[in-house]
Copies of this chain bind each other. A is one copy, B any other.
Amino acid sequence: MTDKKEKIVEAALELFANEGYNATPTCKIAKKAGVSEGLIFRHFKNKKGLLEAINAEAEARYRDVVSPILFETDPKMVIKKTIEMPFNVDKSQFDFWKLQFKLKWEEEYFNPNKVKPLIDKLTTAFERLGYKDPLFESIKLNHILEAISIDIIRDNLAEQQLYKEFLLRKYSI
């Protein structure tokens, strides 16, 4: 990716995440990126094309974060790593995840199957640990983590460290 193309993506990511896709004019992206407006369309064809380029990278990052869990064999470690996941997200990546959560509300970008591998992995883990309703347990844990992620991203969760320890304790980890 050329220098300017990268600049466009960065600017767009920040603006889409914070002001919203529809509320962000392409001229604002161009100005923030320090490039001409036309260049956006030369590189991405569409405003939507730009969004999709960002989104494609997001899929990759999601996989990077989740795959260490999927390769874990110890059931306790599966749960531990899953709980720790949202707390480990670097601040520099918040815009990225903010955009992801926003886009979930657009039919077009919402893919309910995305979490399935993780749910499956958690279900197996809970099963091995002798939990009664392993599927519901994993759905519940996933729910907690989704909500936590949202709070963290929006800087709306106090005492993260203590809360994380509380959760780990709950699962006897």
Contact = CB atoms under 8 A, between A and B. Distances in A.
A154 to B, nearest CB: 7
Q: How many copies does the complex hold?
A: 4
Interface of A: 18, 20, 22-23, 98, 101-102, 105-107, 110, 112, 133, 136, 139-140, 142-144, 146-148, 150-151, 154, 156, 162-163, 166-167, 170
A167 to B, nearest CB: 7
Contacts of A162: 136
Nearest to A20: B22
A166 B136 contact: yes
Contacts of A136: 162-163, 166
| Ranked 7 nearest A-B pairs via Cβ | A143-B147, A22-B22, A136-B166, A147-B147, A146-B147, A22-B23, A143-B144
Q: Is the interface of A mostly helix, strand, loop or mixed?
A: helix
A156 B112 CA distance: 7
A7 to B, nearest CB: 23
Residue among A98, A139, A170 with the highest chain B CB neighbour number at 10 A: A139
A151 to B, nearest CB: 8
A151 B105 CA distance: 11
A107 B23 CA distance: 13
Given A102-B105, A146-B150, A147-B147, 8 more contacts: A18-B107, A22-B23, A140-B166, A142-B147, A143-B148, A143-B151, A144-B144, A146-B147
